[in-house]
Amino acid sequence: MGVMSPRILIIGQGLAGTALAWRLWQREVPFLIVDRNESLTSSKVAAGLITPITGMRLTVSWRYDVFYREALRFYRACGKRLKQRFFFPRGYVRLLKNEAEITKWHKRRRDPDMQPFLHRQTPELNAEVIHQPDNGFQQRHAAWLDTNTYLESSRRFFESLDSYATADVKAADVRDDTNGVEWNGQRFSHVIWAQGWSAEKHPLFHWVPFQSALGTILTVEVDLQGEQRILNRGCWLLPRNDGTLRAGSTYEWKFDDPNTPSADQVQTLEATLRSLLKVPSSITASQTAVRPIIKNRQALMGTHPTHPRVAFLNGLGSKGSLRSPWLARHLIEHLLDGAPLDLELDLQGNKV
């Protein structure tokens, strides 16, 4: 049997899998994306924050300018096709929580890599709403992705193309040989596993050093008196377009139940929120899921070292909204065109 024309099977319709499907649709390459369609997944729970200056070290997110430009074009194009808006550029205010952070920021703010992302105006927050509103700075080129709307509207679109199926695909259900892949009686040229943290149980990828983290996000009721920017001091607070607010998030590196946070983590998050806000707030809901993180890697993608028809895209962590459009395009170009993968992201080059 000869090698078949490209038709790609994607396992997982999270942020990674959905971006892969869109990249194939853009190139008019047939695909089938298969997902368990669970109500709680890392991608569905994700706040979708896209911010340039992050973390305790106050550094510019890795390759942010490249990823952000591509994400902006990608989500706007998808939104136009779906007649649905889910990508929202938004002001972002980072407030400094102690003297050590203030000292660090006064040194970091002069660095050349910071300059494209610093807003020249001071944040001018309402002192009746926010504790210590003057200890901070405003960022440019930040945004948030309404992940639920994006994923759901994309799923409906793929269904309309007969390119989506609901199923719980196990590794043993997919067979590959030198000519292609078979699943459920159908033939494909490749399979891409984009399952998130559950991939650590996949027999072909057991060697990938996953270090995934449980995360919890709260839904909050609070009167911000008109403030619509994303705020952050120890935790972030996101005013969404539907009038709800979300706050987060936690990182639990050891956990027994992937859907239940420890009580102390939630209490710590609530206390951090109170240290940000002067006005009263109430927690109306919480959501928990596991972020797929690969130890010491920004993400990994590529084909399996001994199964060239089996590909992998995973480990996007909390940066899936930002990075998935760029990563998906490069993996598809690698599979279809033979384009080389970035050495820092190449699955084979990072085999432990």
Say what the pLDDT of residue 3 is. Answer: 54
Q: Say which CATH topology domain 8-45+148-209+295-350 has.
A: FAD/NAD(P)-binding domain (3.50.50)
Q: Do residues 301 and 330 lie in contact, with contact meaning Cβ atoms separated by under 8 Å?
A: yes
Rounded to whole angstroms, what are the CA distances from 87 to 78, 240, 241, 320?
10, 11, 11, 14
Report the interhelical angle of 320-337 vs 64-82 (nearest 10°).
90
Q: Which residue has the tokens 């096709």?
A: 81
Q: Which of 100-104, 190-194, 226-230 has the lowest mean pLDDT?
A: 100-104
Q: What is the DSSP letter of 302?
A: E
> Which stretch of 87-91, 189-193, 259-263, 288-292 has the lowest confidence by average pLDDT?
259-263
**pLDDT value of residue 4:** 67
pLDDT, one tens digit per residue, over 165-203 is 999 999 999 999 999 999 999 999 999 999 999 999 999
Provide CATH 3.30.9.10 ranges for the chain: 91-143+213-291
- Write out the DSSP string of 268-296: HHHHHHHHHBSS-EEEEEEEEEEE--BTT
Positions of CATH 3.50.50.60 in the chain: 8-45+148-209+295-350
Domain 91-143+213-291 sits in CATH 3.30.9.10? yes
Interacting residues of 78 by C-beta distance below 8 A, sequence separation 6+: 22, 150, 154
pTM across the whole model: 0.96
pLDDT in tens, 4-28: 689 999 999 999 999 999 999 999 9
Q: Is the pLDDT of residue 2 over 60?
A: no
Per-residue pLDDT at 98 exceeds 70: yes
Give the per-residue pLDDT at 1. Answer: 45
Please name which of 117, 118, 133, 120 lies closest in space to residue 276, comparing C-alpha atoms.
Answer: 133
Phi, psi torsion values for 175, nearest 5 degrees:
-110, 140
Task: Report the distance separating Cα 313 and Cα 21, nearest Å.
Answer: 12
Give pLDDT, residue 242: 85
- Closest among 65, 60, 63, 68 to 94, alpha carbons compared: 60
Q: Which residues contact 14 (CB under 8 A, 6 or more apart)?
A: 35, 41, 42, 43, 44, 151, 194, 195, 196, 320
pLDDT per residue over 122-176, tens digit each?
999 999 999 999 989 999 999 999 999 999 999 999 999 999 999 999 999 999 9
| Residue matched to tokens 């590196």 | 253
Which residues lie across from 138 on neighbouring strands?
93
Torsion of CA 352, 331, 55, 223, to 10 degrees: -140
